[in-house]
Structure 1
Amino acid sequence: MLYGVSSVQAWYYFFKYHQDAWYIRTLVGAVWLFETVHQLLISHTVYYYVITHYNHPATLDRIVWSILLEVLFNGLIGMLVQGFLAMRVWRLSGHNVLLTITVGALVLSCFGCSAAFTVQSLKLHTWAELEQLKGLSMAVNLLGALTDVLIAAALFVFLHRSRTGFKKSDTMISKLIAFTVSTGLLTSICAVASLISILASGHTLIYVAFYFTLGRLYSNSVLATLNARTIIRRIGENSDELSFSLQTISKTAQRNPTSARSTNISIKIDTMQDFMRDQHPNIGSENAEPESAATERSF
């Protein structure tokens, strides 16, 4: 079901946002491709145990290669999505090198543990032997949860600092905050549930259900974030200030709140002038200024 949701969201993205930058389109294409491979591997695993070796209980003790490769592709999806969010942290933090390096190190460490688990597990033959890699399994889930929490917390702080004091722009930022926190919290809960399952019942495969669901949540979260831009942008177009820089406003507000408000008004005036020129090319700057002045008085 979650793969179907991801496929629909990917189709909608390429249909609606085909003019996006090439690296964002590549990200979406890679995430959906890895999702598809992951789903094929799951289907092979189920077919192997349920169809091919139906009524052969002894087969249940052996590990099929496809379920082990699923860990690698799950890690690839997580690395792409968390890396994309790390770039958002980089931009919203005003290019905070220390914070971005910390997030990047956690992302790479989590993927490294997933790759190491895959390589080591392919040498094993039975589920009983797989318990030897319990430490790696715990490390993957722990690092994934820490990364999600750190990214969500960083985005929350920087978005919160970007509030302008204008009702509708603050509403837009509030929606971004709620969206960011909810997606980060959901993946964190899933990773923690997988970790708890390993600790409480490591001899079973309960944790596998949570871990493989985690990849689906990652892909759906990034696709939903990208596809929600139209709605969020529509809120901005109807707001008191049509465009602003989150980084500039947050820094200005910390130094001088009055100056930050003045910056928003000047941005409003420039936006209105551009709008007037786009809509009425024959109208000169002399006609545009009274409209801008009227806008300024509305505040």
Structure 2
Amino acid sequence: MSVMYLDNTLGAAFVGMVVAATLHGVSCVQAVYYFTHQSDRWPIKLLVAAVMVFDTVHQALITHTVYTYTVTNWGNGDILGLLVWSLLVEVLFNGLTALLVQSFLTMRVWRLSNHSVLLTGLTGILVVAEFGCVIAFTGLSIGMKTFARLAELEALSITVNALAAAGDVLIAATLCTILHRSRTGFHRSDTMINRLILFSVNTGFLTSLCAVGSLISIVVAGHTFLYIAFFFCIGRLYTNSLLATLNARKLIRGSADGIHTTSDNFSFSLREISKHGASVTSSAPKQRPTNISIKIDTTKEFATDRDSEKEAMTENSDKMMRCTDFLPATRRANC
């Protein structure tokens, strides 16, 4: 047995486990911050808790896999041809993490796209198909004992990674397109939208890149563990992208703190904006708005001192942030 053979088998698995463990530590820090600084409704908190549980179980499983190969069976070259049960079960928990995070993002597509059945349906099909393939892979592989037998499921492994990459790219592209078309011309809302677009790209980019890396590795070097190194990390990337998105809401909301918005409740359409310009005044009676839209709770924008406007901006931002679990809907009149 050559050193090079160990490098691209156990070495690759070890590197994947270390990177995954590092990312898990980051997600734990983000989870602590989330539960101590965010005040979401219980379904979102339950989602985060479930994702963290699945992520932690997955980390324990891949640690058991590497430990079994490198410590328990140290010096036993024959073990490299055999399957450890935890290596097969971890696929299911990785799939569960991806299912929850992608479902959350699919619901965001549903809300921001004015309940588009086509976009949401296509995204949902990719998400469900990916998880279906994960279940099929786990069910078929659980009774296998050797990697030679597992090679029979190579096509299914390729399908899982291809669906994961396609789903992530579609979600990111859809959200970016919807947000870009929702620009209003107002600095405050456009600044928020720019930040949202950036986070949407980041949400899908890293997970897609990891899935593509795993896909290429299994096609080009399926006899090695290079694809396993990528697959070990993809669940952590889903978890961190979800938590980063949720924890960054205050940062995004405060990105326009240098712009003061004077408005009580004067709604107007984009057509009226283009007709009358950005500076419009209103004598409408003061009342709390019932329909919050990032499009506009404003009639006039002008630069002002940050200290003098902080309280008003915070109140207005809070109203807008409550519109959805992430940020206010940009293409809807009602939340």
Q: Which residue of 1 aligns with 2:60?
A: 40
Alpha carbons of structure 1 residues 263 and 11: separation in structure 2 relative to 1, 3 Å:
farther
SS at match of 1:125: coil
Q: Distance in 2 between matches of 1:56 and 1:242?
A: 73
Rounded to whole Å, the distance in 1 between the matches of 2:262 and 2:132 is 43
Is 1:201 the equivalent of 2:221?
yes
Tell me which residue corresponds to 1:23.
43
Match of 1:14 in 2: 35
Equivalent residue, structure 2, for 1:181? 201
Distance 1:264 1:212 in 2: 55
Q: Give 1:130's aligned amino acid.
A: L
Native 8 Å contact 2:186 2:278 kept in 1: no
Alpha-carbon distance in 2 for matches of 1:156, 1:269:
26
Q: Distance in 2 between matches of 1:101 and 1:145?
A: 17
Alpha-carbon distance in 2 for matches of 1:141, 1:27: 23
Q: Does residue 258 of the first structure (1) align with residue 274 of the second (2)?
A: yes
Unaligned runs of 5+ in 1: 279-299
Task: Say whether 1:82 aligns with 2:102.
Answer: yes
User: CA 1:261–1:172 in structure 2 vs 1: closer, same or farther (change >3 Å)?
Assistant: farther
Rounded Cα–Cα distance in structure 1 between residues aligned with 2:108 and 2:249: 14
Percent identical pairs in the alignment equals 53
- Call closer, same or farther: CA 1:260–1:132 in 2, change over 3 Å: farther
**Match for 2:102: what amino acid?**
Q
Aligned to 1:286: none
Q: Are 1:71 and 2:101 an aligned pair?
A: no
Alpha-carbon distance, 1:52 to partner = 1.3
The amino acid of 2:129's aligned partner reads S
Measure, in 2, the Cα distance between the counterparts of 1:120 and 1:187. 25
Q: Measure the CA separation in 2 of the matches of 1:132 and 1:104.
A: 28
**1:222–1:12: structure 2 CA closer, same or farther, 3 Å change rule?**
same
From 134, 138, 150, the equivalent of 1:130 is: 150
Change (3 A) 1:236 1:56: same
Partner deviation per Cα, 1:234-275 (whole Å, 9 max, x = no partner): 1245434489xxxx99xx54x6652796799762269x9x95
Give 3-state SS (helix, strand or coil) of 1:268's partner.
coil
2:113 to 72, 90, 93: 93
Offset of residue 70 of structure 1: 0.7
Moved more, 49-58 or 257-266: 257-266
The Cα shift of 1:233 comes to 1.4
C-alpha distance in structure 2 between counterparts of 1:55 and 1:44, whole Å? 17
Query: Residues 163-189 of structure 1, C-alpha deviation per residue, up to 9 Å, x if partnerless?
Result: 110223212211110111122111111
Which stretch shifts more, 166-175 or 6-15? 166-175
Structure 2 Cα separation of the partners of residues 76 and 260 of structure 1: 51
Cross-structure match for 1:170: 190
Number of paired residues? 268
Distance 1:64 1:33, change over 3 A: same
Q: CA deviation at 1:102?
A: 1.1
3-state SS, counterpart of residue 259 of structure 2:
coil
Relative to total residues, which structure has the larger helix share, 1 or 2?
1
Task: Provide the TM-score with structure 2 as the length reference.
Answer: 0.74
Cα distance, 1:222–1:256 mapped onto 2, change above 3 Å: same
Match of 1:4 among 25, 39, 57: 25
**What is the root-mean-square deviation in Å for CA atoms of aligned residues?**
2.7
Q: Give the 3 Å change call, closer, same or farther, for CA 241–138 of structure 1 in structure 2.
A: farther
Alpha-carbon distance in 1 for matches of 2:46, 2:258: 31
Amino acid at match of 1:8: V
Q: Which residue of 1 aligns with 2:325?
A: none
Q: By how many angstroms is 1:124 displaced?
A: 0.6
* Cross-structure match for 2:75: 55
CA contact (8 A) 2:162 2:212 kept: yes
Specify the alignment match of 1:143 in structure 2: 163
CA contact (8 A) 2:34 2:246 kept: yes
- Does 1:268 pair with 2:288? no
- Relative to structure 1, the CA distance from residue 261 to residue 27 in structure 2 (aligned partners, 3 Å threshold; closer, same or farther) is farther
Q: Deviations over 1:103-150 (max 9, x none)?
A: 111101001101111111111100111110001100100000110111
Counterpart residue type for residue 111 of structure 1:
F
Q: In structure 2, what is the Cα distance between the partners aligned to 1:82 and 1:111? A: 10
